[in-house]
Structure 1
Amino acid sequence: MDTPWLDDREQQVWRRFAAVLELLPGVLDSELVRHDSLTHFDYFTLAMLSEAPDRTLRMGTLAGLTNASLARLSNVVTRLASRGLVERKPSADDRRATDVALTEAGWAKVVEAAPGHVRTVRSSVFDLLDPDHLDQLSSICERLLDGLDPQHRLVGHGRTH
């Protein structure tokens, strides 16, 4: 089977895209770690809980909302729980399942971290794009997500589920 090598234009686009994939997480982590002692994934986990009814979600639901495996999420929840930001408890609906609840300290941490995080997201992404670019980026992300997650199990698709 022949390898469908990237042509020069595809190679240039791929390298730019790969650079964004490498640089953006570090930018997001840097601001949050420096100011709030949170990684971006820590913050994202807390933020998803902060938006949930009763600030509580089942582990599997939270994994889907954060685009994480249960193993990765479990490690993060353990770390956040050790800091008093979340707590695990048996699900009220299904004793075999585990819920994760945002504590008052966790809520305070989200409130504290959100302004700086939003400023970083805005300055690193949105301020660099005009409205047409934003529409194009949204369309490109949707197309990529359709290919990477055709069952729409993870969050980020234009359609809600």
Structure 2
Amino acid sequence: MFFDNTVLDVLARGFVLSGVALFWIILMVRIVGLNSFSKMTNFDFVTTIAFGSLLAGAAQASDWKAFFQTLVATACLFLFQFTLSYFRRRSSTVLHTIQNAPVYLMKDGKICEEAMRVKRVSRSDLMEKLRESNVSRLSDVRAAVFETTGEVSVLCGDEIDDAMLEFVKDV
């Protein structure tokens, strides 16, 4: 692509193509917004991984056609993510179709065994998340929520605003 010498060509392609592709991703993020790499939904997580894969593909492109194809694919992925985000905010049907609902793993100090079974969360995983949240007694936990991203949020205290648990479901 750049030089007849194989070693120089490999070095130049790796340096130039990865730099241009990274600049392209930064430009797309500036246009679309920072939520491009958020972990708000499982779709966001998948697209973040896909961006990394496309960046690697661009850095390893052996011809201009393949390189520009990865740049176009990256732009399309940003467009799809932006479009889904737009419709997710405006349509509860789209929201519920592409996003899981958060689920109680614990409620008022009691472990929700059925939710743990359905969501395939082990007791040891839950205990680890409780320890990370500095919980010393199960009775202190008002809610442990399995979020849409697969993370566990732990809420402790005497009172919790109803709005904090508005969309959380029982299994």
TM-score by length of 2: 0.30
